[in-house]
Structure 1
Amino acid sequence: MRIQQLSELLEYVANCRLSMGKLYGRLHRNADSSRVKLMLEYFQQHEQHIHDTLISYIEDAPSRILDTWYKDIVFEDFVKRCVTTSLPANMTEDQVLELHLDLENRLIELVEKTANSSATDEVKSALLDIVRVAKTQQKRLVHSTIRMDDI
């Protein structure tokens, strides 16, 4: 996928979050373990929340930021990755968490890479704020998942 404008990038990341949610829904239908199902439901809700937050950000962000142009921002077909990814029915909580972190880190790295190639400090700062929030949410999600083990 080739991205030219920041608005395209943010919309793409938001759609990738929906694809992750769909992946978790599909895995949920195939999972044997009730704990894994609970975890997948939580991840599915988390991805919907992040999608909605990104869409809200796009709606509220100044056009001078969203209209920023980039050269050569190329990214994998993330949606295809989500569609073709599968785990066995006896998947473990660790496997699900590892999959989630892999997918999420790919998206965070895309935004971070874009931030580092931004021409203005304003755009770079806005994108790095998105990265910072995503990493903070990721830490909270991991801690919540670990607490699930304690239940």
Structure 2
Amino acid sequence: MRFKQVNDLLNYLVTVHQTIRDYYVKMEEESCQERSKLLLQFMQQCEDEACNNIRAFQDDASKAVLDTWSDAVFDADPLAPLANLEIHPYLGSDEIVSLATDVAQALIDQLERLVEEAPTDGTHETLENIITSEKNRLHKLVHSTHRLDDM
């Protein structure tokens, strides 16, 4: 996907997280395992938080940063791992976490590449903040999953 302005990229990131959340809802609806359902509910909340964080970045960023024109391009679809997974009722927590990790890492990889091409310092800082937020979210997911496994 090619973006025209930094704000377009941020709007796209919100859409990505909403799409991921919707996918987790479908997975939860299909699941017959309570542990997997709990994990998927938690992951839905994480995606909601990610959307809210990006919107907060949009609210906090200067108009100059949001309106910055960029030739930014994602060279891979961060949602691709979702397309390769068959949803079934017995999807285990390991498979779910693996999927979530793959999707999150694909998004982080794309954002890290875009930081290198950031046209301004403000854009660079905004993208770095989003990357940090994405990494923290992934870290939280992994640790929360380990706690769920310990129950």
State how far apart, in whole Å, the 1-side matches of 2:43 and 2:52 are. Answer: 14
CA contact (8 A) 1:118 1:124 kept: yes
Q: 2:32: which partner in 1?
A: 32
State how far apart, in whole Å, the 2-side matches of 1:33 and 1:85 are. Answer: 17
Say whether 1:107 aligns with 2:107: yes
Aligned residue type for 1:92: G
Say whether 1:116 aligns with 2:116: yes
Say whether 1:148 aligns with 2:148: yes
Classify the secondary structure of the residue corresponding to 1:86. Answer: coil
Q: Identity, % of aligned pairs?
A: 26
Give the alignment's Cα RMSD to 1 decimal. Answer: 2.0
Q: How many residues end up aligned between the 2 structures?
A: 151
Using a 3 Å threshold, how does the CA distance of structure 1 residues 2 and 80 change in structure 2: closer, same or farther?
Answer: same
State how far apart, in whole Å, the 2-side matches of 1:6 and 1:123 are. Answer: 7
Structure 2 gaps, min length 5: none
TM-score computed with the length of structure 2 as normaliser: 0.89
State how far apart, in whole Å, the 2-side matches of 1:60 and 1:10 are. Answer: 12
Using a 3 Å threshold, how does the CA distance of structure 1 residues 91 and 149 change in structure 2: closer, same or farther?
Answer: same
Q: 2:11: which partner in 1?
A: 11
Q: Relative to total residues, which structure has the larger strand share, 1 or 2? A: 1
TM-score computed with the length of structure 1 as normaliser: 0.89
CA contact (8 A) 1:4 1:69 kept: yes
Say whether 1:63 aligns with 2:63: yes
